[in-house]
Structure 1
């Protein structure tokens, strides 16, 4: 019988041998792990992948967790050769007596073999294959290696694989933070992960946990006191995502799309790639906060649109002048309110709440979880009725005029006070890039990614309004104009014979200053001057010049409305254009991925951006060479990752571009400096307030940052459908857009609110009123890490004292004059006379002019 048994086993083995997979692949197995996306400073932004797994070394796992699995799954693991003879005979006896195949007997090694190579179907052939594979595995790997693979590979429900992921998914903890009862719950999952997990069924999880604890007590892994304590613990669990430490969902989606496009879904989601972005976590958090708070502010000044729902009707009954009561029809009980709130979702920092009581100038509410909150008058008084985008109701005097018991509303905390709120209907976007290389430092594509995945930074092409003017003026400087050139700021009336109407572009506000210097016209955002400059330069020359900044020709209308901002650009395209003025005239390419690491931490890819290099020579040639190098490197990286599969190890060769690539210089350093300097006047204005000639630029509110290296420009389209603010320093360029996703809807105007006093911004919405506050809030946090830089003029510019009214040379040094920058040869040749209406010129004055010129 022994000989017959041996021959039978040998025969079965040789019969199945060709069907058995090669277990040597376990020596170099790569577990499928999700892709992780990080900020530049190592904060986790997101995680993508079908399988949640956190691979751990055996020594990184708590001994009690390991013992729990051994106690319930394979007590004799370290003693048997891969199969447990006693367990097999027990299973055979059950099958022989009852025909029931549900009895186990699989060792941990057998389970590992099944998980890697076989199906879970209960068939004799599969079981025999499992046995042979287990024996092979035991010959190939050590016991610790087998146990480590098993504990990282085992399916534990809710898409979690391995103990590290299970601890995170069910309890939001690392394996070292787990309590004994939580360890027992996880150890009990391999038997039936979908049915026994605590999220699916707390009762099933409790019953299985108690079995595990009993086995641990029986095998003396724990004592009776620990057992009793763990048995008594309640089963509390909910699904936890990855431990996100930096909120940047729009960036995460950009990275996900890029990685899938590059490497395909299988590699992107399962190869454990670690993608490090260019985002700075602190700046990103401030960008999100600035954008959302700005939308709340806009929303509040336009009025309260009412509750989300009314759970029951309440009617106000006045008892006397001081006491007010509500008659409530069928109010819900506290338990019913909580049950209702449990089904509602928070939106960003807005919490669903039910109003339970209203007083003269306060209200009580309950939020999910049963917390009672009080809305004081400061958190209510803003809520006058929304009528239209142009009109709001009267300022409320009591809380009764705003809310009633039974209303489902949203509340949020601001400055540690609860505040009535609502989901903003307007949209916004903010993006900040490094002008030196195009690295995106912050990006928020909308109020809430959970509400809309549409990324307004990269996908929304909107009319840019006056944000286009610096580019128009840049073209004018290339075609003979200077910052001192006098333009006529007067109304334009041009008859269009084809349309049968007159085109009358107007300033906003409709104030006209007559003769005005180009610098002042840009700082004050004079529309008619922009039109006159376009006419002087020519539409073809203007469009050719604008293309240098990376703008697509099809986005640039070939008519005079281009000078007023009828071009449609994305915020990312616009801020890239502004970066040219910030970095000395170089066009950089925005990018988001800095480097990619393998799951083992090996460098696979390092981005080497084109960089603005003022000290380099032959920029265009260097750029062409860099482009070739970039293509070669990209081809190498694509080839590398296209060869990846889950069955083969990642190639550890790092693909990094070593040579520095120089950005193309698209405008001269002198041109970029002149525009950047003129945009500083948009902040600081000019003239003399003491002598009645002082004036402000449209971005004067930026003065509160108290920095002289900032240049900025507002932008507003017709009917305030799009509002913009773009500003930059030599180290950071930032653009903010605010508008409605419905491009036909105007942002309207806010009427004066008697309750708000100075805490408001009444008037027509505009770039300065609507977009600038978000830009300002962001820069208050972002700028301190960038030292202020002196605005030294580049070589090739001269500084000449001019008369502020005529733009001509002057000998006066009082409030009527100032120094202005000029390209050599463009300085004025004449001096202003006492009578500014007449201009004289002679050789003596020409000699004085030469003495006034200071070359840098």
Structure 2
């Protein structure tokens, strides 16, 4: 047979029709088509190979993915290792796959990639199934991307819907499967994927939606999370709880179909209500920002927000929460009282600030910089400098005691005139507008007498008081005139807290400490801090001034502390500035210093009743009582301190006729030796103790005018001009 012709049923000996077309035989045609297909296949394969090779040059190297570090949150912990807050560009806490419960792994795999352990990067069956479903529905109802492809997309690519991206995605998936085990891929996925509400990774999602760590999740909670990556915003249970429930139940049904859970487990989970909760990671915002500012200088913002630092701090979360809650209520109640009394609203919100410091270490245990960080990030505890009023007076008395004055020494509480530098007169006044005659220093501080304090400062010298203030931890510039003694200088709450902590710590000034240690994301320690103490005062001086400040609380301007039920050793000082714009109370026990300021950001008169003893001291008592119950530790008494019972009027050794004598401390060898002549049977005139230094021309009244609560609701002596 002629293979060049096609069989038609005629004999081969017949002469061919010259006009007949020469049609190839079926056998020959088949061989020809096979050749065409082979050539076409090679062309297509070559083209595809060329395209893949071209795209291969564009995809990133995945061999080092094992060392990949996603953007991680910097975690800030309290003194007990509890999470306080996080700083992040992406809220993420990396966990090991062993920490992810099997039921959550199965929920994710059932929903996203049921053939995960069988395919090598992409799933041909899933692609065919998704194509059929999408065509039958006339829209995209199902995706075919494997977990490996999703990981590749999230790690290396954008979300543009192009053929080029899909090719790169497939190439990357193949490479990832080549270099990494399935467990490693699943771990990367669980830490990388976005779950909505700012949460990246399963741990952040668990805390964001259910207020717990990932290993604590239940089956219905796992199903909620497994549904989220498909549409994190739409399925967000906070925004769309009904839709989130619907999608949760879809996942539960899929898990049942796959044999991961039983129908009974599914039904129980479906009947479980959706309960949402956040594990609060934005506590103590002013303290956290204070920490962030310290970290910024060392590590920079990139490391802080993406590097996954672990920062261990001094914060006592329990104390912080108690203080924040009580301060918010207290300040709002105060504002309501002020506005009710004046009949008009304040022109601005009343604010408050607080610092709690452990005096033996300088550890900052609580910090409040304002009532609402979201409204105003300005930290009034650290950044604001306000006049301190009488809260500064203990520093004046510290300077005096350390330079030879005693608690029993007497100064005249009587009118005096000082010349201002411009030639005008300044007449310091007491809060009550009255004078008490001879006053021992113990009472001068306890009852916050302005005139006595100014006269004492005049005697020791302004420079001396400034020197002691700086030694005790105050770095702000200080007034260069006698108004210094009445608190005319603007000082931060943190500085004042440190100064009082120096007294509470027996004269050893603690450096304020907030960061204990910092570790990187692998656990390597980057820095470690211990307490730094500097000797600022003799122990005897610190103890004597502390004793004087105990009298402030026991019988002076801070007696509201006792009325509210706080018992045990405690010392402190109230403070109120001119025009009643700033109120202070700084109190301490042997174990804790708690400093409080209340006022307005822009000076505004709060009313005459709003003194430190009224506005701040009760809050101090409330916080301390709720946090600690009361004070049980005693202030340690130095070895060379002796106690003598003295008359609170004359300052001399108490006679049997002296009313309410008090045991007062003295450095051994400086105690009074003469008995009171003011209340003796033989005396008709006042003898003012061994301290013989009256102001010229001043006579003590025979019957000093007593103070009454009607004259001074807070028993606090405030007033006098603050310009000198």
TM-score (normalizing by structure 2): 0.78
Deviation at 1:293, TM superposition (A): 3.5
Distance 1:233 1:529, change over 3 A: closer
Partner of 1:33: 72
Deviation at 1:469, TM superposition (A): 0.9
Map 1:447-596; keep pairs closer than 5 Å.
447-494=371-418, 496=420, 498=422, 500=424, 502-554=425-477, 556-596=478-518
Map 1:139-538; keep pairs closer than 5 Å.
139-172=178-211, 175=214, 183-199=222-238, 212=251, 215-222=254-261, 241-244=278-281, 247-302=283-338, 304=340, 387-388=343-344, 425-494=349-418, 496=420, 498=422, 500=424, 502-538=425-461
Distance 1:469 1:823, change over 3 A: same
Conserved? CA contact 2:313–2:514, under 8 Å = yes
Conserved? CA contact 1:275–1:593, under 8 Å = yes
Distance 1:711 1:474 in 2: 14
Distance 1:424 1:181, change over 3 A: farther
More strand by share: 1
Conserved? CA contact 1:483–1:820, under 8 Å = yes
Deviation at 1:456, TM superposition (A): 1.8
Partner of 2:28: none
Distance 1:91 1:298 in 2: 65
Deviation at 1:774, TM superposition (A): 0.5
Q: Secondary structure at the match of 2:355?
A: strand
Partner of 1:412: none
Q: Secondary structure at the match of 1:190?
A: helix
Partner of 1:348: none
Conserved? CA contact 1:463–1:717, under 8 Å = yes
Conserved? CA contact 2:408–2:689, under 8 Å = no
Partner of 1:699: 558
Distance 1:232 1:831 in 2: 85
Conserved? CA contact 2:566–2:625, under 8 Å = no
Q: Secondary structure at the match of 1:19?
A: coil
Is 2:586 the partner of 1:726?
A: yes
Distance 1:506 1:838, change over 3 A: closer
Distance 1:840 1:746 in 2: 41
Conserved? CA contact 2:643–2:665, under 8 Å = yes
Partner of 1:768: 613
Distance 1:224 1:703 in 2: 64
Deviation at 1:579, TM superposition (A): 1.0
Distance 1:734 1:126, change over 3 A: same
Deviation at 1:450, TM superposition (A): 3.5
Deviations 1:269-322 (A, max 9, x none): 223333232122222222223323432442343455xxxxxxxxxxxxxxxxxx
Partner of 2:553: 683
Conserved? CA contact 1:164–1:174, under 8 Å = yes
Deviation at 1:466, TM superposition (A): 0.9
Q: Secondary structure at the match of 1:679?
A: helix
Deviation at 1:92, TM superposition (A): 9.0
TM-score (normalizing by structure 1): 0.67
Distance 2:571 2:251 in 1: 67
Deviation at 1:576, TM superposition (A): 0.8
Deviation at 1:424, TM superposition (A): 9.8
Distance 1:231 1:289 in 2: 38
Deviation at 1:713, TM superposition (A): 1.5
Deviation at 1:218, TM superposition (A): 4.3
Conserved? CA contact 2:568–2:630, under 8 Å = no
Partner of 2:102: 63
Distance 1:681 1:228 in 2: 69
Deviation at 1:583, TM superposition (A): 1.0
Conserved? CA contact 2:476–2:491, under 8 Å = no
Conserved? CA contact 1:101–1:122, under 8 Å = no
Greater Cα offset, 429-438 or 708-717: 708-717
Distance 1:186 1:600 in 2: 27
Distance 2:689 2:468 in 1: 35
Is 2:60 the partner of 1:24?
A: no
Distance 1:494 1:682 in 2: 28
Distance 1:53 1:826, change over 3 A: same
Map 1:120-135; keep pairs closer than 5 Å.
120-135=159-174
Map 1:614-629; keep pairs closer than 5 Å.
none
Conserved? CA contact 2:149–2:173, under 8 Å = yes
Question: Matched residue pairs, number?
Answer: 645
Deviations 1:531-556 (A, max 9, x none): 111111222222223222222352x1
Cα-Cα RMSD = 3.8
Q: Secondary structure at the match of 1:243?
A: coil
Distance 1:826 1:206 in 2: 80
Q: Secondary structure at the match of 1:148?
A: helix
Distance 2:280 2:521 in 1: 17
Deviation at 1:732, TM superposition (A): 1.2
Deviation at 1:165, TM superposition (A): 3.1
Distance 2:578 2:178 in 1: 78
Deviations 1:627-682 (A, max 9, x none): xxxxxxxxxxxxxxxxxxxxxxxxxxxxxxxxxxxx22122222211211121222
Partner of 2:542: 672
Q: Which runs of 5+ in 1 are unaligned?
A: 305-384, 391-422, 611-662, 685-695, 750-763, 842-856
Distance 1:3 1:90, change over 3 A: farther
Distance 1:42 1:424, change over 3 A: farther
Deviation at 1:746, TM superposition (A): 1.4
Conserved? CA contact 1:296–1:424, under 8 Å = no
Distance 2:133 2:661 in 1: 105
Deviations 1:596-625 (A, max 9, x none): 344555544332120xxxxxxxxxxxxxxx
Q: Which runs of 5+ in 2 are unaligned?
A: 1-37, 691-724
